[in-house]
Amino acid sequence: MSTIQTKAKTGKTAAKRNRKHFPALISSLFKIGFLGFGGGCALIPVMEKEIVENAKLVTQKEYDKDTLVACITPGALPIEIATGLGLSAYGITGMLSAALALALPGSLLTVLILALLSGADGLVLTEIQCFSIGVGAFISYLLLLYAINTLRESRNAASGNTRKTFLVMFAVFFLGCGKTFSNLPFMNGKYLFGLSTIQILGLAFFVILFTGGKNTPWKTAVSAVLVVLYALSAGHAHLIPGAVPRRVLVAAMYFCAAAGMILSIRDDLRAHRALLSGRNNLLHFLKEIIAWLLLLAVCALPALLLTEKTPLYLIRGFFSSIISFGGGDAYLSVADGLFVNSGMVTYREFYSLLVPVANVLPGSILSKILTGVGYYIGYNLNGSPVQGIAVAFAGFICSVVASGLVFCLVYHAYNSVEHITVFQKIGHWIRPIIAGLLLSVMCSMIQTSLNTAASIGIAVLPVFLVTCGIIVLNLSLMKKKSNPFMIAASSLIGLAASNLLLFFA
């Protein structure tokens, strides 16, 4: 029996053996939907702690694989990870149930709060912003903890692996954190790189594909030179100006990565290793497409009958999801162009009400924003919250379907090549790469809290000290208290401290 057949049989046996754990997986994801603040990459450590460490429903390797695929797929990252977890263990039923379980709580809370805020004054919004400062500090703690745990786990690997892990994390962080640090007084808004998540992942994959994960001196030197030149060209400062040099560099990296992958495949063939798997991937994917589209058609029907604006809203919502890379902040700019500038929702509804609410609630930012836009489209028909909820529900399903469908496409493509040695190297290094990205997200989260404080008239320095204090407190209590307790404590401390600072401002 071939290696692939053995793994396929093992996978089927594991799925049958774990079928009794299906309710546990769904309930865990539903719980994360209520407790997973921050959206996007910020939920990676939250989901890992609950599903891998606490409930032990999947292995670390399985979780890392789903995270890797989600990171290179546009859409709502937490929903995509949930889709992968459900799909690999329980097929189409697990895929749909897991994605909906994770996304529902945050989107539901968004609609409920928007309905309550329809006639609220500015004081309520100010309190929501104060609350978000403590939540942001707790999320920052989780992101820092993920990086710390990544370093700890690397100590159990081969000699010198900790140093390599640290260097990878630092390089990724250094390339991505520029925009956040540009807000420091002595930076005067200037920074060198500030590369996007997809650019950093592209560089990481190029290095791994070209070198094959081996420390060949000349390959290491060539890849380092190309990465530095690209960063200087594509970075914010554009130290190498012009589009032509950047295109030449990208072409050179594509060529080198392809050559490295071909050599890796050749070596695997010489070693008589099985390379491609999943002959039935296309059939499975077609079934999954049908399931996703049926879900959207059935759940969107009430909204389609309610208003003629629904089809255009869903088309734009689907499109906005599949072109969204880089987390919640990136999606806001996409949503602004498609929904605010087009007049589907007003500037006040989007930026003064929906965005602050979405930022403070748990769950995927993309799903919450698309759901909230739908609520206002329905509500503005004649001021009825019921109509708002109907269109919001269609938008919620659209966000889940778009993210899940595109994830399934990339998931099956990755399954077909994951047994090639060079792709196994990508799986090996994805955790420190993600840790570096999360450190950049942590800095952005802290910066967002400082901007929030400044917008409501609170001094920035005291809020920074409060944020750091909450992070240190959580690190000291992480082995003694549960996550729900620390979320509640962080939120209340942030709320009380912000109101105190606001009172003396």
The string of pLDDT tens digits covering residues 408-450 is 999 988 888 777 777 778 878 888 998 898 888 888 888 888 8
- Which H or E element spans position 329? helix 328-335
What pLDDT shows up at residue 501? Answer: 92
What pLDDT shows up at residue 80? Answer: 95
74: which 2 tokens? 């546009």
Report yes or no: 322 and 402 within 8 Å, Cβ to Cβ. yes
d(CA 343, CA 52): 44
Q: Mean pLDDT score of the chain, rounded to an integer?
A: 85
Compute the C-alpha angle 246/250/255, nearest 5°: 150
Percentage of the chain lying above the pLDDT 70 cut? 89
341: which 2 tokens? 């500038």
pTM comes to 0.81
Tens of pLDDT, residue by residue over 450-502, are 888 888 899 999 999 999 999 999 999 887 777 778 888 998 999 999 999 98
What pLDDT shows up at residue 479? Answer: 76
Within 10 angstroms of residue 284's Cβ, the number of other Cβ atoms is: 17
- Of residues 277 and 171, the one with the higher pLDDT is 171
The CA distances from residue 229 to 193, 281, 475, in Å, are 11, 38, 38
What pLDDT shows up at residue 238? Answer: 78
450: which 2 tokens? 């400082």
d(CA 326, CA 390): 29
Residue 362 main-chain phi, psi, to 5 deg: -75, 165
3 state SS of 168 = helix
Closest to 172 (Cα-Cα) out of 424, 373, 433, 360: 433
Q: Letter for the amino acid at 153?
A: E
Q: At what angle do helices 161-176 and 122-154 cross, to 10 degrees?
A: 150
d(CA 90, CA 22): 7
